[in-house]
Structure 1
């Protein structure tokens, strides 16, 4: 595992360095060409050329710093995620004074690392393969903190603080950022294309104690609204008081679907909803709902 992790580290570092050098080299060549042309045409304007050259260098350095920081953040997030995946795969014991006897073996080390851990999500055939955390103290903590509790703009996949994941509620809602690099819930947007759904219809969500498989039933678009807005808030449906309320939820979801999957849900089904941002409209949200097999 250590050798594999080291190779992954080297790969990301190398890619990062190559990208930075490439940008610097292209900027340097562009600057030289333009300075050469300027020299031929305006030999007497050396001072102006120097000022332009300095400006290009400063802009190049600024771009490198900005791009480099973004690349470093992506690299760091990828490494942290891989470490968690390896920790999941590793064997564990019952140390640190924590009773982990009922926890599935592969999650014991992770739980000892962060007791906010409530499960693990895998969307089959995609890169969504992450631990799921839940903060009952501050709902949005994991919007900008990673699994280790460190500041991280990628955040983590986290369950709604109102949910009982283990009971479970009728609808467990998991949130994650729509990251441009495809991490966290960045690949959920592909589900807007039905052909992608056809190839990725299933997912699994393990709690700390049990394993569950799910089948996707709906993909839809909505938005975050204020309390007075007359818009269905799918993220507020956690439990149905009865069959009538569940059927109402089902009909509302039907109206927000981007296409018909052909898979139906019924009263009594246990659901999981993956929720992320979308760029289709202001305050837009994309959701993928699946039912337990």
Structure 2
């Protein structure tokens, strides 16, 4: 019985092997099925390659756009910083020995009414005044568009600074541009060491500034940030300044004394303001700070590069790279196509 079972198992196994070998031989003997399968695979490969190439082009185009935007943003930021630099206006600064350059600036822009210089800082700019307070938010003293704007006097003030409360505005900017140095007065040591400045007026005697308070407030503080017109407002305003000051120093006030308020943004809070308050007087204090003018070699190099239309050159370079890439891709596809064709022919010969 056992022997019969073993023999039947051997016979059935042999039959299975025979059936399997027949199936393999029959599949090899039908080249049509193999050809159909190969064509299907080739079609799928072509679709995959097309999708891959399309994805490559999309990534390449997006990369070029990102590079172009990045380069433009860098160039634009550099231009804004250059325009905002006090060194750009130094040639026009009023000088007792030669005032021609300031006259030239006034001829270029009749809105120029004076010049402010805060000793020991980079706040050293011409002052303009327009019919409203938005005119010079994004316009330079020379009339060019720039987000750096200008230093300007409140349109409600008299242009000769004869009001009791004179408000001068300027953008807070990085790299110590415009009113960026106002932030330095947050340090008590800096506030104590930097007490004086000067305002040169158009056709009038210059006024000395003695700073006595630094305040952090908000733009809705109407008492401090609106020019006081009535005599009764003086005491309330001075009391408010001392009561809200981060740092302050006591100075003597006469009934005829006026003040100047420098106003810029405090980015640490919503609608925040840095306020620096000083008393105006006919006494102009000596500037004991002899700050050296630093030469930014990188900035000078960029200026030279910009003269050669660097952005256009960069764009041309990108176009050349794209052309080289497309030529390379075309050659690579041809080589792959020929290689695939050769492989198919070899397979067919083997079959």
TM-score by length of 1: 0.69
> Corresponding residue for 1:191?
185
> Corresponding residue for 2:121?
126
> Corresponding residue for 2:236?
248
Q: Which entry has the higher C-alpha Rg, 1 or 2?
A: 2
Q: What is the CA deviation profile of residues 189-226 of structure 1, one whole-angstrom value per residue up to 9, with x for unaligned ones? A: 1111111112211110011121111110111011122x
Q: SS of the residue aligned with 2:89?
A: helix
What is the CA-CA distance between 1:105 and the residue it aligns to? Answer: 5.4
Q: SS of the residue aligned with 1:119?
A: strand
> Corresponding residue for 2:10?
none
CA distance in 2, matches of 1:64, 1:147: 27
> Corresponding residue for 1:234?
224
Contact 2:153-2:167 within 8 A present in 1 as well: yes
CA distance in 1, matches of 2:161, 2:249: 28
In the alignment, does 2:153 pair up with 1:159?
yes
TM-score by length of 2: 0.58
Contact 2:112-2:128 within 8 A present in 1 as well: yes
What is the CA-CA distance between 1:82 and the residue it aligns to? Answer: 3.5
In the alignment, does 2:93 pair up with 1:88?
yes
Q: What is the CA deviation profile of residues 40-88 of structure 1, one whole-angstrom value per residue up to 9, with x for unaligned ones? A: xxxxxxx59957973656544432232222122222443xx54532133
Q: Is the helix fraction higher in 1 or 2?
A: 2
Distance change in 2, residues 1:277/1:266 (3 Å):
farther
What does 1:18-33 align with in structure 2 at a 5 Å threshold? Answer: none
Q: SS of the residue aligned with 2:136?
A: helix
- Long gaps (5+) in structure 2: 1-51, 282-351
- Long gaps (5+) in structure 1: 1-46, 94-103, 226-230
Distance change in 2, residues 1:59/1:172 (3 Å):
same
Poorly superposed stretches of 4+, deviation over 6 Å: 90-93
Q: What is the CA deviation profile of residues 200-253 of structure 1, one whole-angstrom value per residue up to 9, with x for unaligned ones? A: 11110011121111110111011122xxxxx553121333423xx311111111
- Cα RMSD over matched residues? 2.9
Contact 1:92-1:108 within 8 A present in 2 as well: no
Contact 2:83-2:148 within 8 A present in 1 as well: no
> Corresponding residue for 2:259?
271
Contact 1:165-1:172 within 8 A present in 2 as well: no
In the alignment, does 2:213 pair up with 1:222?
no
> Corresponding residue for 1:171?
165
Q: SS of the residue aligned with 1:118?
A: strand
CA distance in 2, matches of 1:266, 1:232: 24
Distance change in 2, residues 1:167/1:76 (3 Å):
closer
CA distance in 2, matches of 1:176, 1:70: 18
Match 2:80 to one of 46, 59, 73? 73
